[in-house]
Chains A and B, each alone.
Chain A
Amino acid sequence: MTVLLFAGVAERVGARRLAVEVAPGDRVRDVRDRLVAAHPQLEPFLPTLRYALDEEYADEDTPVPAGATLALIPPVSGG
Chain B
Amino acid sequence: MLIRVTDAPLDPSEAIAAVASPAAGAIDVFLGVVRNENLGRTVDHLVYEAYPSMAEREMEAIAREACARFGVIDCAILHRTGRLAIGETSLVAAVSSGHRAEAFAACRWIVDELKRRVPIWKKEVWSDGEEWIEGPEALERPAPAPPR
Query: Are A79 and B54 in contact, with the CB atoms below 8 A?
Result: no
| A76 B136 Cβ-Cβ under 8 A | yes
Given contacts A6-B49, A55-B57, contact A71 B119 (CB under 8 A): yes
Q: With A and B bound together, what is the CA distance between A52 and B118 in angstroms?
A: 11
When chains A and B are docked, how far (Å) is the Cα of A40 from the Cα of B134?
Answer: 20
- Determine the main DSSP class of A at the interface with B: mixed
8 Å CB contact of A73 from B111, B119, B137 = B119
Q: How far is the CA of A11 from the CA of B49 in the complex (A)?
A: 12
Interface SS of B by simple majority: mixed
Q: Which residues of A contact B115 (CB under 8 A)?
A: 76-79
* Chain A: interface residue total (CB-CB under 8 A): 18
Asked if A55 and B54 make an inter-chain contact with CB atoms under 8 angstroms apart, the answer reads yes
B32, B91, B134 interface centre (most CB from chain A within 10 Å): B134
Asked if A1 is an interface residue, CB under 8 A from chain B, the answer is no
Contacts of B135 in A (CB 8 A): 48, 75-77
Residue tally, chain B, CB below 8 Å to A:
30
Contacts A7-B121, A7-B132, A52-B119; is A79 near B114 (CB within 8 Å)?
Answer: yes
Could you tell me the distance in whole angstroms from the C-beta of A13 to the nearest C-beta in chain B? 13
Q: How far is the CB of A61 from chain B (nearest CB, A)?
A: 19
Cβ of A8 within 8 Å of any chain B Cβ, yes or no, is: yes
Would A78 and B91 count as touching, CB distance under 8 A?
Answer: yes
Which residue of A7, A57, A79 is within 8 Å of B49 (Cβ)? A7
Q: Which residues of A contact B (CB under 8 A)?
A: 4, 6-8, 11, 48, 52, 55-57, 71, 73-79
User: Measuring CB to CB, which residues of chain B are less than 8 angstroms from any residue of chain A?
Assistant: 32, 48-51, 53-55, 57, 79, 90-91, 111, 114-123, 132-138
Supply 22 A–B pairs (Cβ within 8 Å), ascending by A: A6-B49, A6-B121, A48-B135, A55-B53, A55-B54, A55-B57, A56-B57, A74-B132, A75-B135, A76-B115, A77-B137, A78-B48, A78-B55, A78-B114, A79-B90, A79-B91, A79-B111, A79-B114, A79-B115, A79-B120, A79-B136, A79-B138
